[in-house]
Amino acid sequence: MEHLNQEKSAEADVQATPEASATKASRKVFVKTYGCQMNVYDSDRMTDALTNDGYEATDAMEEADLVILNTCHIREKAAEKVYSELGRIRKLKEEKAKDGKQMMVSVAGCVAQAEGAEISRRAPVVDLVVGPQSYHRLPELLNRASNGSKVVETEFDIEEKFEHLAKPTKEAVRKRGVTSFLTVQEGCDKFCTFCVVPYTRGAEVSRSVEQIVGEARRLAGAGVREVTLLGQNVNAWHGEGPDGREWGLGELLFELAKVDGITRLRYTTSHPRDMDDALIAAHRDLDILMPYLHLPVQSGSDAILKAMNRKHTRDEYFRLIDRIREAREDIAMSGDFIVGFPGETDQDFRDTMDLVERVGYASAFSFKYSPRPGTPGALLEEQVEESVKSERLSELQALLAQQQQAFNASLVGQNIEVLFEKMGRREGQLAGRSPWLQPVHVNAPAELYGEMATVEIVSSTANSLEARLI
């Protein structure tokens, strides 16, 4: 799949802290989230559903009555990492049982979808295996599992999920911060030969304009200022509009720009085949839409693009980039790259390096190809040797790092708008994001938290910017 992470993190703990129930919660839930922003969003929705069912979130696994691992299947050996974690959880569960305390364990997410009942077989500590399409039924499923039976729920029922997902309280949203993810689309119909998403997330499903705008208004009412629209293939979104017509993402962005309180919009992750004229026009006409676009290409070689089933060429990608930059001169590009795909020759790799040099990326994610069971790529011959993959990846990452550092340095001396998202690491410091998504650190009063302010960039590093208030 396209890489959804805007910050590189193969594995991250995300513990939401929702509003406590009116009556004191007697049960606590610990959620560990692996992978992409969509999993972060899903973890928050699971926490919201469980809060309504009497649970309270905790960031200490050892005090939890329920542990949920929300997993990602994109990385190599992702399932093995989950089984290793379950081994540690088993010991903790046994220790609690000696004290007469119960701990339930659930595996959720894409590994749950891919592995299904195999998880229960290999890890008896697991009480519930639940796929991404059944999170709205989590309290019911946990109730079924609480009597000692093992429950595996991995049916595809996405539309019902979006209709019934729990709505967070205002206090829960406030505690999560002034930026928020909002899933508008799920699943993928592209069937790239390296990707498991069509098999773990299912076919493309789009939420309606009414649902999305309603959620955006609730977020804004709770203090959210920046919303990032999420989808495995977000620019393929095609939801029902209030006029009964099918809308595209460009139209949706224009509608969301009208929501009071929202000052910034972003979206990720996109496919080059779905960048239409209306979406490019949104980048041209909407100041609220940030000038940063994650548009993965994966390879610069036409032969490899064909083998990957990307259904576009390098020249088509170049022409698309030109159209986007003509519409928005200050836009910065981000991308994903896979090196060592089966059959990749030295010339194919040189074509990728040439594409990177010609486009110029402000940031990018790059990986060695690793076969995913069940995908066509895993069956291809001419698998590339690991040593060759490593050499190519090092060369590519050196060029991408050079471009990122150059882009950051180009902002020194400029005045830009920053949304302050959190307290900085040093006393008297706030941290925020630039329009191009870089972290920005500024000495500023705490009352500017959650506000936009103009700053001057005074220095840059490979990954962040230092600034002073104007």
Annotated binding site for [4Fe-4S] cluster: 36, 72, 110, 188, 192, 195
CA distance 11 to 349: 28
What is the rounded CA–CA span in Å between residue 374 and residue 372? 6
Distance (Å) of CA 246 to CA 237, 242, 254, 318: 10, 9, 15, 29
Quote the Cα angle for 371-71-230, to 5°: 90
Classify residue 442 by its DSSP letter. E
Judge whether 142 and 128 are in contact, CB under 8 Å: yes
Cα–Cα distance measured from residue 470 to residue 398, given in angstroms and rounded to the nearest whole number: 34
Evaluate whether 352 touches 396 at the Cβ level (below 8 Å): yes
Cα dihedral 81, 86, 87, 90, rounded to 10, equals: 170
44 phi-psi bin (left φ>0, alpha ψ -120 to 50, beta other): alpha
Q: With both helix axes pointing from N to C terminus, report the angle between 138-145 and 37-52 in degrees, rounded to the nearest 10.
A: 70
CA-based nearest residue to 184, from 263, 237, 245:
237
Using left for φ > 0, alpha for ψ between -120 and 50, and beta otherwise, residue 309 falls in: left
Q: Return binding residues.
A: 36, 72, 110, 188, 192, 195
CB atoms within 10 A of CB 87: 11
Query: Across the strands, what pairs with 186?
Result: 205
Burial class of residue 247 (count of CB atoms within 10 Å of its CB; 0-12, 13-18, 19+)? buried
Distance between CA atoms of 289 and 266, rounded to whole angstroms? 6
Q: Could you give the maximum distance between any two Cα atoms of the chain, in Å?
A: 66
